Amino acid sequence: MGVADGSVLRAGDGMVVTGAAQGIGRAVALRLASQGARLALWDVQPDGLAETAELCRKSGVDVLTAKVDMGEPSDVVAAAKAVGAAWSAPFGFVSNAGIFPRSPILETDPAVWERVLKVNLIGAFLCARYLGPMMVQAKRGAAVMIASGRALQGTPRGAHYAASKAGLVSFTKSLALELAPQGIRVNCVIPGVTETAQPLEDSTLEEVRARGSRIPLGRIGQPEDIAAGVAMLLSADAAYMTGQSIALNGGAIMLP
Ligand SMILES: NC(=O)c1ccc[n+]([C@@H]2O[C@H](COP(=O)([O-])OP(=O)(O)OC[C@H]3O[C@@H](n4cnc5c(N)ncnc54)[C@H](O)[C@@H]3O)[C@@H](O)[C@H]2O)c1
């Protein structure tokens, strides 16, 4: 068996998906459930989590849910322990939970800046810190981070968000380097504008969809587009890929 074979998701493997109550996280959970993965779904919204879990169970897979605030280390420690108790080791995780409170830099409360960094970036570190040791012990696994095109371009009224997402691109590389000797791969998806609640926080659905006219492929993304990229990164087709970020944005931003 090649080193990379242990980093390919198989039916029955257990995946943690953060921010799974709606949007991209829900689509990722459904996609992985359709492939037979067991799931641990973490989010701050119990109702949305319960709905996602019900939808996933229709694929016949086991689903755990936990109310986890990714900005609270003690929540992540407790949820990671529950995962270890249920499965002995998770195969991996998708760090997807994210917040984007719009705010110009010169008016941003430092506490808001800190909160964004905690949820979006430190949350991913906490997944690695408390799920990673179990993956290393099992000597197999893979992880995917969900960043954002704003990491590449910056954004007005979202410097904290853009910085947190740029941090995820960098964190992906360092984690990939540290875990590669254990046969564990780590990659990152950089979504463009995707039809979920997040862009609707400051625009109407019509305005968000209209952004598709400036995208080479002529439409904004759907959560399933991003879930497909996550599934690809966890699959045998990406067995030789680690530390990379792929942009899924209809061609809106093209990486070198
Ligand atoms: N939708 C887009 O256009 C877009 C573009 C680029 C990147 N992203 C990223 O994709 C990811 C998913 O976002 P989405 O578009 O599905 O938006 P969303 O707002 O629909 O989903 C975000 C999910 O994260 C959860 N969450 C928020 N704070 C949390 C916390 N402290 N702990 C745990 N869970 C928490 C929310 O409850 C929600 O279920 C985010 O990281 C977002 O930044 C989205």
**If pLDDT is split at 50, 70 and 90, which confidence band does 5 have?**
confident
User: Closest Cα partner for 97 from 33, 156, 158, 48?
Assistant: 48
Q: Is 19 in the pocket of ligand 1 (CB under 6 A)?
A: yes
State the pTM of this model: 0.98
Which of the 8 DSSP states describes residue 118? I
CA distance 221 to 203: 16
Please provide the average confidence, as pLDDT, over all residues in the chain.
Answer: 97
80-108 mean pLDDT: 98
Closest CA to 126 of 72, 191, 170: 72
Q: Is 130 a known active-site residue?
A: no
Complete domains list, the chain, with CATH: 7-248 (3.40.50.720)
In ligand 1, the atom with minimum distance to the C-alpha of 221 is 3
Identity of residue 209: R
Query: Does 43 contact ligand 1 (Cβ within 6 A)?
Result: yes
Exactly one of 161, 184, 187, 189 is catalytic; which is it? 161
Is the pLDDT confidence value at 2 over 60?
no
- CB of residue 70 inside a 6 A radius of ligand 1: yes
Residue 48 makes CB contacts below 8 A (sequence gap 6+) with 20, 21, 22, 26
Nearest atom (ligand 1) to Cα of 75: 32
- Is 230 near ligand 1, meaning CB less than 6 Å away? no
Best CA proximity match to 137, nearest among 76, 84, 75? 84
Q: Which atom of ligand 1 is nearest to the CA of 22?
A: 39
Who's near 12: CB < 8 A, 6+ residues apart? Answer: 36, 37, 38
Q: How confident is the model at residue 1 (pLDDT cuts 50, 70, 90)?
A: very low
What is the Å distance from ligand 1's center to 187 Cα? Answer: 18
Pocket test for ligand 1, best of 16, 17, 24, 189 (most atoms within 8 A of CB): 24
Distance 240 CA to ligand 1 centre (A): 28
- Residue 3 is predicted with a pLDDT of 45
Q: How far apart are CA 232 and CA 238, in angstroms?
A: 7
Q: Residue 100: its pLDDT value, please?
A: 98
Burial of 106 (0-12, 13-18, 19+ CB in 10 A): exposed
Per-residue pLDDT of 107-150, as tens digits, reads 999 999 999 999 999 999 999 999 999 999 999 999 999 999 99
pLDDT at 65 over 60: yes
pLDDT digits (tens, 9 = 90+) for 163-212: 999 999 999 999 999 999 999 999 999 999 999 999 999 999 999 999 99
Range with lowest mean pLDDT among 4-13, 181-190, 231-240 = 4-13
Q: What is the pLDDT of residue 190?
A: 98
